[in-house]
Structure 1
Amino acid sequence: MEKKAIKASIVVLIAAAMILPVGAITQTAYTNDKEQVSTLEISRGHGSVGMDISTSPVTVRGKEIKQVRSISANAMLDGDVQVTSGDGLEIQPSIAADGAGSLLIGMIADFGSGLNAYFTSSSDGGATWADNAVAWQIETPQYPSVDYWGGSTYYGTMVPSSSDSDGGMLYLMECTDPTDFENGYTLTGWGINDLGDGYTNIKAVDIGCDNGVEDWAYGGVAFIGDHGSGLTETPMFAYQMTEDGYSWFYTFSNADDPFTLEHSLSAAMSIDHTTHYAYPIWTYLNQNTGLYDIYTDIFDFGTWDEYQGYPIHPEIGSVFINDSAVSTEYIDVSAYNNNVIIVAQTTQYGAPNRDITCYYSYDGLQTIETTTIAASPDSEMHPKVIHTGDNQAICIFVKNGNIYSTTTDDGGATWTEPEQVNDQDGTVETFYSENSPADLCKAGAIWSDTRSGNADIYYDSIAAPGPLLAIESISGGFGVTATVSNTGSEDANNVDWTISFDGGVFIGKEKTGTVTVPAGGEATVKSGFIFGIGKTTVTVNIAGMSKTASGFVLGPLVLGVE
């Protein structure tokens, strides 16, 4: 497909601010049009300016399991898979995938007991979906967000009701087995309305997960809320710092400063699984221009420092993306191997028409360039983006009641011509899902659809650029064998892999190698000779993905792998 790149100029303000102490830092502004670069020194520093420590979260009781469909589990209409079919609304979906066929979704739905946040799953790449979904008896939330952590584990959160701790309840949903609705899902929450000066009226959340550091650290949540110091709709950030749930909560403005980060419209979050850098990102209203600009503060989630006796992730620096000609309203971000891609709904070519703009970097936002993904006479809105490999990503957006997808294989510099995803024209629901009508994972897109006269959840797969690997299975015998598939459009050549054993093995605890997996095909990787006795956990890692299995080692045999 033809690719296009529309060049534009942006101004990027980079503050190399470390977390302690926070002070004025000289910032450098870059103007990039791919042919020339000019710099401007700015004597304004930014980073976190407010930090609070919460105690352990409270476990939420009152779980309920509901039937979410009255159709057969493999019902398909014109290629779009119908996930739910309740009589009430099913809206505001979110999705995550493990790269091995498991998908988890969150949604706001009414399955007979009022609107609530429900979670359900697919174990075969979205071809079929579970008949049930799980929720908890809480005040009606909005806009759930889910992400894959590793192994069989996912995490999620949601926007709390304004009557739930003054809108100051930050929820954390943990799913250790998406197929086990009785025991695989738990919900905890931090009541932060009285933490420090108070965090209230949370209006947007996005969770990013990473299992590369601690097995209890889920990742982080970027969100927007009001702060008792006098900040309205300001960027906020949180992550867990101890195994028992103590957490850091951040703000990034002082209410008394002449320049504040306020009146944010959207928040997004991504963690680079290769560098373990976290990129929480927000829009904010620039008081000087009247436009919405972008702000992010980068954290090193691969490192623990100490502050006042507590573990803390160091801040790497903060980044402003300001353009006097562009207002950025709704954003999303994805990061992989220092390639950071930010997609934004913008008024680049004048309101009320909206377009999709891409800001991309190959060096962790040290430098940033921009291109336009979509700018037709109609409004393109609500973009989402996710990496599928090195410099490879998918972006979706909504236009005229339809979902469109486009891909890049050069880190965001160029994008393919957008193609419609949904098969029935003009039925994507945007009234109740105004801020986020659709979401995206590596395998495909999910959205709320009105084709049946009601708002139901639908899913469809999207072809990824280049190779797209998945760990299909792990089996035992003499050692361990893992089967790896490639559903992408290109061969995956010389991909690094690792098979490791935890417990039970005395010889051959880890094996590494490379494998080539043809497009549309499969390949196997093997641990080779091992020797030991006892229970073991097998972990297979390839291309940033991992899959685990348990078994029993008896001499050179690995038995009962599951």
Structure 2
Amino acid sequence: MRKNIMLATAIVVVGLMITSAASSISIQQTDQKENEIVAHYLSVQSQPIAKRLIDKSSKPLTFAGVAITGGDFDEFHPSVAGAPGGEFYAMAEYTEDDVVWHPMMYGSADGITWDPLVEYLYDNSEYTDMDQNAYGTYGTFGAPPDANGQIVVLQGEIMDGWVWDFGSYGIDEFSHNTIDCITFEGPEGDPGEWNWGGLTMSGHNSYVSPEIDGCPYVFYQYSAAGGGIIGWLSGDVAGCENVGSAMDLVTNMHYAVYDRDTGAGNYDLLVRKDNFGVWQYNSAGDYWTHPMVTNLKITDAANLMHPSVAANNNNVVIACQKDADVIVYYSLNGFSSKTEVTVETGAAYPEVAIAADGAVIVTYVKEGTMYMKTSDDGGASWGSAEVVSDNQINSNDQSANLDTYQGNVIGVWEDIRGDNVDIYFDMIYAVPNDPPLQPSITGPNGGKKGQAYTFNFNSVDPNGDQVKYFIDWGDTNTESTALVTEGTNHPVQHTYAEDGTYTITAYAQDALGLNGDPSIKEFKVARSKSIDLSIFSFLENHPNLFPILRQLLGL
């Protein structure tokens, strides 16, 4: 049954700007008639993060199989992300005394053996989340009760992070934080390696009057120096609790979804859409923002709770709990319109992701078992249920988490197969894929040192995916190319500095990260033949000697 989308015309967009430290508040106000949108910004400075690196030799937490955690206590609210370097990271709430929990980050080279990496010293912070872009793997968690105005972003590769503190402004009690990463340039030609993406969360806001309890927030960094923007919606938006968010990496649109207690006895959904592919400069405040595209509400007589959202090339899917059922609202046009479809009855706590082949994956909990279903048409219809964890899932809000990595969907969940609640990891959905074929390597067979030569690499991918080439030139130099069209010659130049015979080794990797078999080619750099020039000098100095020899030598 379709439900109409009601545009919230009384909603106001507001934001706080975080830049270098400033003693005064700078407010810039802009009015727009249609939605009465007003924006406010102020500045503070990012801070270091409190952490403790784990000594693996004295505190091992390595397990075979897919278990990430173990020990004598419970772990909750896990999250996971694959890294651009090929490894994996996970987070969960960890304790040593069953009294104080800290966010813990774990790492794995292969997804099978996991080690604890770093404990973040924020007492009883809840709800972790992770994602990745081309530069790194990032995580976040809710604000700790004793510093509840803090926003934290971590990076797995450096086992460190950054903090922005809004507590002194009445912006606090952040909860259900989610992170969505993007690879996108910064303002004014900045390459944007610092631009990890955006956060979505709910919290409290007494910076405005009347104050908003359960305020819907977004936050993102806008400069390499640590400047950041926190924004929120005001109006009829109070009561937000659980949060879902997604970044469409094709359109660069960011979708934030909040469930909210309407105060009328039920929960509805609030949706916000921002364009993270555009930076807008405000000269009065000297800051940059991503423009909000729209905001809207999804209302129903039933309770709409625990949203999760995925987006790819304008296919947007919001999964949520509708009373005791799991449903989706799917759209093929960037959520300009939507359609409601029931995924499973008598189920709860859905998570949604979209794989590289366009398959939409929803996991949910039903009668103590974690299931998954897939849709091959953007969310319109759903296949049969498959078991992910048989009667072993801890029934808890945000007890599972999904990540799309190298085109596949990986996941973690709270598992009760042992004596405690532990975190388990597995591949949830693998895109059907064949590796690229051995590449042909064509080019010269030999040459001179110090001279550049061109070699062509050509691999056919059975699935038609783009490929990149990893090349070992045999002289201690290696390189990789960008993704290029499969089945076509890709020229690469190389210069050898020394004489010798070298073996060039190359293999192709498809866009999903699957490697093909290598090929080899030999290239010989011959020793240059030197000519003794002393005879030429002798003949130049004795022009009348050996006339025939001089003629042969062209002198």
Q: Structure 2: which amino acid aligns with 1:249?
A: I
Give me the whole-angstrom Cα distance separating, in 2, the residues matched to 1:102 and 1:206: 21
Q: 2:3 aligns with which of 10, 17, 22?
A: 10
1:344 matches 2:344: no
SS of the equivalent of 2:419 reads coil
Determine which of 428, 449, 464 is the counterpart of 1:494. 464
Distance 1:500 1:89, change over 3 A: same
Could you tell me how far apart the structure 2 residues matched to 1:546 and 1:246 are? 38
Higher normalized contact order (CA 8 Å, seq sep 6+, divided by chain length): 1
2:331 pairs, out of 356, 361, 365, with 361
RMSD: 3.9
**How far apart are the structure 2 equivalents of 1:511 and 1:360?**
31
Bigger fraction of residues in strand? 1
User: What is the one-letter code of the residue matched to 2:160?
Assistant: T
Q: Which residue of 2 aligns with 1:247?
A: 228
Q: Look up the match of 2:426.
A: 460
The number of aligned residues is 457
**1:222 lines up with 2:196 in the alignment:** no
Answering whether residue 299 of structure 2 is matched by residue 322 of structure 1, we say yes
Distance 1:137 1:333, change over 3 A: same
| Cα contact 1:479–1:526 (8 A) shared by 2 | no
**Which consecutive unaligned segments of at least 5 residues does structure 1 have?**
1-7, 26-44, 177-183, 255-259, 348-353, 485-490, 516-524, 535-539, 548-554, 558-562
CA distance in 2: counterparts of 1:278 and 1:391, whole angstroms: 18
SS at match of 1:462: strand
Per-residue deviation, 1:245: 1.0
Q: CA deviation at 1:268?
A: 1.6
Q: For residue 411 of structure 2, what is the aligned residue in structure 1?
A: 445
Instruction: Identify the residue that residue 293 of structure 1 maps to in structure 2.
Output: 268
Q: Which residue of 2 aligns with 1:96?
A: 81
Larger Rg: 2
State whether structure 2 residue 223 is matched by structure 1 residue 237. no
**Cα 1:556–1:499, aligned 2, differ >3 Å: closer, same or farther?**
farther
Rounded to whole Å, the distance in 2 between the matches of 1:163 and 1:370 is 41
Q: Which residue identity is paired with 1:186?
A: D
Q: Deviations over 1:191-231 (max 9, x none)?
A: 11123xx2111122111111133211111100000101210
Tell me the residue number matched to 2:351: 384
Map 1:394-409 → 2, pairs under 5 A: 394-409=361-376
Residues 346 and 357 of structure 1 are in contact (CA less than 8 Å); yes or no, is this contact kept in structure 2? yes
Q: Deviations over 1:252-297 (max 9, x none)?
A: 004xxxxx2011121122111111111122122335x532221222
Verify: 1:412 aligned to 2:379, yes or no: yes
SS in 2 for 1:404: strand
Q: Find the aligned partners of 1:420 and 1:250 in 2 and give their Cα distance.
A: 39
Indicate conservation of the 8 Å contact 1:100/1:470, yes or no: no
What is the 5 A alignment of 1:509-548?
Answer: 512-514=484-486, 527-531=490-494, 543=511
CA contact (8 A) 2:30 2:39 kept: no
Partners of 1:556 and 1:18 in 2: CA distance: 70
In the TM superposition, 1:41-52 aligns within 5 A as 45=35, 49-52=38-41
**CA–CA separation in structure 2 for the residues paired with 1:492 and 1:322:** 46
- The answer on whether the counterparts of 1:479 and 1:556 sit within 8 Å (CA) in structure 2 is no
Mapped partners of 2:462, 2:51: distance in 1: 46
Please give the per-residue CA displacement for 1:151-174, whole angstroms capped at 9, x wherever unaligned. 4x111110122111xx11111111
Mapped partners of 1:302, 1:556: distance in 2: 48
Quickly say closer, same or farther: Cα 1:267–1:120, change in 2 above 3 A.
Answer: same
TM-score between both structures, scaled by the size of structure 1: 0.72
- Is 1:169 paired with 2:169? no
Instruction: Provide closer, same or farther for how the CA distance between residues 130 and 71 of structure 1 changes in structure 2, counting only shifts above 3 A.
Output: closer
Alignment partner of 1:370 is 2:340: yes
1:312 aligns to 2:289 (yes or no): yes
- The counterpart of 2:393, out of the listed 428, 450, 473, is 428
Indicate the SS of the match to 1:262.
coil
Counterpart CA distance in 2 for 1:175 and 1:71 is: 17
2:250 counterpart SS class: coil
Query: Among residues 254, 258, 262, which one is paired with 1:282 in the alignment?
Result: 258
Amino acid at match of 2:3: I
Structure 1 letter corresponding to 2:75: E
Which has the higher mean CA deviation after the structures are superposed, 15-24 or 224-233? 15-24
Task: Give the deviation of 1:511 after TM superposition.
Answer: 6.7
Letter of the structure 2 residue corresponding to residue 245 of structure 1: G
Contact 1:70/1:86, CA 8 A, preserved across alignment: no
Q: Which runs of 5+ in 2 are unaligned?
A: 14-28, 186-191, 443-453, 472-476, 498-507, 516-522, 526-555
The amino acid of 1:298's aligned partner reads: K
Change (3 A) 1:174 1:100: closer
Distance 1:469 1:281 in 2: 36
- Structure 1 residue 541: Cα displacement: 9.5
**Structure 2 CA distance, aligned partners of 1:161 and 1:222?**
16
**Residue 468 of structure 1: CA displacement?**
5.9
Q: Is the 8 A contact 1:69 1:84 kept in 2?
A: no
Distance between the aligned counterparts of 2:44 and 2:489, measured in 1? 44
1:498 and 1:209 mapped to 2: Cα distance? Answer: 23
Q: Secondary structure of the equivalent of 2:167?
A: coil
Scaled by the length of structure 2, what TM-score is found?
A: 0.73
Please give the alpha-carbon distance, in whole angstroms, between the structure 2 residues aligned to 1:482 and 1:232: 59
SS in structure 2 of the partner of residue 303 of structure 1: coil
Secondary structure in 2 aligned to 1:513? coil
State the distance in 1 between where 2:241 and 2:459 align.
43
Question: SS of the residue aligned with 2:389?
Answer: coil
Q: Percent identity?
A: 22
AA at the equivalent of 1:441: D
For 1:483 and 1:123, the matched residues in 2 are separated by 27
Identify which range, 306-315 or 131-140, moves more after superposition: 131-140
* Matched position secondary structure for 2:281: strand
**What secondary structure sits across from 1:163 in the alignment?**
helix
